[in-house]
Chain A
């Protein structure tokens, strides 16, 4: 069973460009979470999605950031008009469906390191 896949692993964008980060959850997982890790800091929650629904976006910046998890295909985190402060590692995690979940464990992908020049 393949783990959580993220691509690209490294992404370089100039200020003002758009960044698209992709996340394919583990097979059978329908919950996706995005986290951001700034240099020398812990992970900060951004958004929690289920298929075609945003469940919790309380950690998303109000502007320029959006996320989706369509019925088919990977989850996408989109950052428009990137600025240097967006440089960070972005992690995706997934968990299986069902309530209550057995362990509430989230399985992490390897992350995408975004560098804005």
Chain B
């Protein structure tokens, strides 16, 4: 069974600085998708960024980028120029072929002003 591990229960970053959230996963498949979701206090799940496993190029969305290391089964999220609105719980997730999402336990990100 696929598993997703987020080893950092909580992280802090100073406003305007950069922070990296870690995620590792376990799968025997070669084709799959990885996601980072943000959950602010409102509890709404917001997609931050996606990565297709067959693409070697790391995905980027404005201030958010990933470091996808397929062989190491690692998928970290880098947030540049952190803003107060980035404070939230962040979940890493795995899926294959539109089936269920497997989530990690989450990392709480606190942003200090």
A residues with a Cβ closer than 8 A to B are 31, 33, 35, 41-45, 48, 56, 58-59, 89, 91, 93, 95, 99-101, 103-108, 110-111, 113
A100 touches B105 (CB 8 A): no
CB-based nearest B residue for A9:
B43
Give every chain B residue within 8 A of A91 (Cβ-Cβ).
45
Complex Cα–Cα for A99 and B97 (A): 8
In the complex, what's the smallest C-beta–C-beta distance from B70 to chain A, in angstroms? 17
CB-based nearest A residue for B32:
A104
Complex Cα–Cα for A49 and B98 (A): 12
Complex Cα–Cα for A56 and B46 (A): 24
CB-based nearest A residue for B52:
A103
In the complex, what's the smallest C-beta–C-beta distance from A31 to chain B, in angstroms? 7
In the complex, what's the smallest C-beta–C-beta distance from B42 to chain A, in angstroms? 8
Within 8 A of A (CB), among B23-51: 33, 35, 37, 42-47, 50
B97 touches A43 (CB 8 A): no
Give every chain B residue within 8 A of A89 (Cβ-Cβ).
43
